[in-house]
Amino acid sequence: MCAILAVGTATSQTAPVQGSNDQLNLGALFADQTLDVVTADEGVTATTTAGANTFGATVVGADAALTSNQVNQGAVTAHGVVNASGSMGESSNIATTAVGNSGTATAAYGTLTGFMVQTNTGAVTARSQIEGETAQAGDVIETSQAAGNSQGLLMVNGSMGARVSQNNQADVAADGGAILHYVAGTAVVAGTAAGNNIDLTGADQSAARVITDQNNGAANVTATKFTAYGNSNLTTTAATASGNNLNAANEGTLLDVASHQYNTAYVRAQAEATSYEFGGAQATAYGVGNSAMASNANGPGLVLDNVQVNDGGGVEVIASFEGNTGYDAGASATAIGNAVSGYACNLCSGTMSATNSQSNNVDVSARSTVTVRNSGRAVVGVSTATGNNATFSVTN
């Protein structure tokens, strides 16, 4: 569902446009796709998407006020599979996405005031897989993305005052992987799972003041990717899992963010890759209970008030690569209970006001393993576990 609240020119006499959205989904949703491929010259494209409630609102050249309430109680599953026996062609893209509640709000050359509430109690699963034990491929991108709640805020020479409240109480999983005999180009296989997610982007002298409340009380949030190659050129296997995630990036006069995050889910990110012969192979896994990032790149002001509590199930991250003969191999595992970062541009007379409170009450573990059985040129392993991490900088 997409709504254009107003299109026109705003004047001092123009009354703000009022808009409201109420969505309730009780049933289960399942999107399934299977492609059987013998030979494809150019490539294979498979897009599989499942969403219980979706809503988009845009205001252009006017002022508007928006309220949105989205509630999902049904399970949401997206499943995409490619079975290949010959050639997948030069370039392939397999994307699978599942979201309980999804919303976007855009203010272009105007002002938007919004109050958005998202509540999800249905399990969300995105699973994508490439099965090609005898197949070869050029470039491959295969992604799985899953979120209980996701809200996007976008400004283009506009301003926004918004409060976003997200509550997820169901498991979220992004998994799958790829099996291929030969990869001639670059293969990127990635999974991303989040209980709650908010993305704010501002461009061309925008200003924003937002309050975000994110509560993830699910049992599990997991991202898992497994890959197996016979002979590969350049490959990346990645998994990212977060209980709550906020990413706010503005280019304008002001970015004022009050972020409150509470996670009790067990968060697990696992990326495991094998390749008998390899050129460059990397397995990367990142897991975090709560994550908040706020930056004002071309504007003078950043105000950040951050509160994070990570409790309940803990954070576990696993990354591994195993090969026989090749050049460069690496595995990186990063596990964090709470993470926050703030950035302001000092060339723009930048100032920052930051208040931070973080509490991690659970175990955090990271494990990386790299095994090269015969010979390799460079072997790198990185494993990092952190309870609380905060970074604030005012630089060019």
Q: What is the pLDDT of residues 41-69, one digit of tens each?
A: 899 999 999 999 999 999 999 999 999 99
pLDDT at 290 over 90: yes
What is the rounded CA–CA span in Å between residue 50 and residue 30?
A: 6
158, 107 Cβ separation under 8 angstroms: yes
Residues 6+ apart with CB under 8 A from 73: 24, 25, 26, 121, 122
Beta bridge partners of 224: 270
Q: What pTM, to 2 d.p., does this model score?
A: 0.94
pLDDT level of residue 8 (50, 70, 90 thresholds) = very low
pLDDT at 334 over 70: yes
What is the rounded CA–CA span in Å between residue 153 and residue 184?
A: 39
Beta bridge partners of 243: none
Residues 345-380 have pLDDT tens digits of 766 666 889 999 999 999 999 999 999 999 999 999
pLDDT at 287 over 90: yes
pLDDT at 101 over 50: yes
pLDDT at 7 over 80: no
Please tell me the predicted confidence (pLDDT) of residue 214.
98
The distance between the two most distant Cα atoms of the chain, rounded to a whole number of Å, is: 76
1, 151, 208, 272, 367 from 285: Cα distances, Å: 34, 24, 32, 9, 9
Report the chain's mean pLDDT, rounded to a whole number.
93
